[in-house]
Amino acid sequence: MSKSLEVTLQKVVDHSYSIEIGEHLFSSLISDLRQGLVSGASKYAIITDSTVEPLYGRALLELLRNEGFQAELFSFPAGENSKTRDTKALLEDQLLSHAYGRDCCIIAVGGGAVTDLAGFVAGTFGRGVPSLNYATTLLAAADASVGGKTGVNTPVATNLIGVFHQPRKVYIDLAAWRTLPAREFRSGLAETIKHACMSDEQFFSYLEANIDRIITEQGELILDAEVCEHIALTNCRIKYEVVEQDEHESNLRQILNLGHTAGRALEALSGYRLMHGEAIAVGLVIQARLGAKYGYMTEEEADRIAALLKKAGLPTEIPEYITNRALLEKMYTDKKVRSGRIRFVFQDGIGAMKRFADGSYSVAV
């Protein structure tokens, strides 16, 4: 005769954190550490990539050491191609060889690939250690810095393996945007436009009116300070409002995948020749055209979306080297696929998302 024991593990967890937006925020980060932002940490691991290391990584390392903190720098080759399980294992082995343990804090310095990868390391190293995000790109500011989703890519699909791990604080350094190549800045704008499409028609109109104050259609960066700050703040607010209601993507948070079902598939199929934002831009147009076909938005609204993406210098067509069949097959590896059906999230016009009869925000297509 068998016996059973009930293991009751009810708990209330507070994952709150603040986001600081400004220029040159290293002194603020140091000040926060001095004031006990990360209690119990005696060692700091800066994780960055080969592009950001000479620009920001080494400077932060020097500053931390000068201030009496025990710190090391760990870097991996820049690019989405490096965001893999192999790189994660390599970073973990390096941390272990430098005697890092549960008393460490990880500081991710860089763009989306860095915050995704370093956050995943932080979420599993020692079964979870605290982390900070220092975002140096628009993409990290718009998307990767808020919400705690971390992960790596596999040959099958992007971001399919990862954990939810909220940082202790996020720093968005607007001065770092001036060091970005125009193409990378544009890539970040795709996630910004996605946020506007999804939940803020006023912000969409603002972008239509002001996008040429930050970048020209030819790709020249203008970066008007006022517009940059407004974009950073609005991005964070929109994403926060969604994440607050659905931290672990059980339903509402799926709307953040707008444009990503086709976009992620395109990104992988291109062998990362397309940057994340470039692939998402095409994905946004695909979902808009499909949405217009189903009557969720008008043709004019779909045209406005494509026009804004074009104005930002982003692609709006599937590259010639990717066939429709290959794209369709790749979409079957998306996280939202249920019972062998591809599911899409759709806009309900501009600035709202379609909620279906069953209460879900995604629908089988």
pLDDT confidence of residue 159? 85
Instruction: Tell me whether residue 8 is in a domain.
Output: no
In terms of residue numbers, what domain contains 54?
18-179
pLDDT value of residue 6: 83
Q: For 248-265, how does the pLDDT look when each residue is reduced to its tens digit (9 = 90+)?
A: 777 888 899 999 999 999
Q: In what order do the strands lie in the sheet with 169-173?
A: 18-22, 169-173, 131-135, 104-110, 43-49, 71-76
Task: Give CA–CA dist 211/55, Å, rounded.
Answer: 27
Residues of the chain with pLDDT under 50: none
Q: Does residue 63 belong to any structural domain of this protein?
A: yes
The CATH number of residue 261's host domain is 1.20.1090.10
Residue 311 is assigned to a structural domain of this protein:
yes
Whether residue 11 lies inside any domain: the answer is: no
CATH number at residue 141: 3.40.50.1970
Say how far apart CA 236 and CA 344 lie, in whole Å: 24
In this prediction, residue 248 carries a pLDDT of 77
- Domain end, chosen from 179, 207, 235, is at 179
Judge if 343 and 277 occupy the same domain: yes
Q: What is the pLDDT of residue 14?
A: 77
3-state secondary structure 146-163: CCCECCECCCCCCCCECC
How many Cβ atoms are within 10 Å of 328's Cβ, its own excluded? 12
Spatial distance between the Cα atoms of 144 and 119, rounded to a whole number of angstroms: 10
In a domain, 26, yes or no: yes
Residue 7's pLDDT is 79
Among 143, 151, 148, 149, residue whose Cα is nearest residue 166:
148
Q: Are 152 and 88 in contact (CB under 8 A)?
A: yes
Same domain? 151 vs 121: yes
Q: Please indicate, yes or no, whether residues 360 and 300 belong to a single structural domain of this protein.
A: yes
Residues facing 149 on adjacent strands: 164
Statement to judge: residues 193 and 148 lie in one domain: no
Closest C-alpha to 165, from 56, 361, 13, 12: 13
The verdict on 338 and 213 lying in the same domain is yes
Same domain membership, residue 174 and residue 207 = no
Distance CA 33, CA 104 (A): 13
**Listed residue (309, 329, 192, 207) closest to 266, CA to CA:** 329
Q: The tokens of 142 are what?
A: 């718009």
Asked if 41 and 149 sit in the same domain, the reply is: yes
Please indicate, yes or no, whether residues 156 and 196 belong to a single structural domain of this protein: no
Question: Do 171 and 188 share a structural domain?
Answer: no
pLDDT of residue 222: 94
Per DSSP bridges, beta strands 131-135 and 343-345 are unpaired
Predicted local confidence at residue 244, as pLDDT: 82
What is the model's pLDDT at position 335?
72
Q: Residue 237: inside a domain, yes or no? A: no
170 and 196 fall within a common domain: no
pLDDT of residue 224: 95
Is 28 domain-assigned? yes
- Which helix (H) or strand (E) segment is 277 a member of? helix 276-294
Same domain? For 192 and 319 the reply is yes
Residue 245 corresponds to which tokens in the numbers above? 């209601």
Has residue 229 been placed in a domain?
Answer: no
Q: Are residues 292 and 192 in the same domain?
A: yes
Count of domains observed in the chain: 2
Closest C-alpha among 163, 195, 310, 211 to residue 259: 195
Per-residue pLDDT tens digits for 73-124? 999 999 989 999 999 999 999 999 999 999 999 999 999 999 999 999 999 9
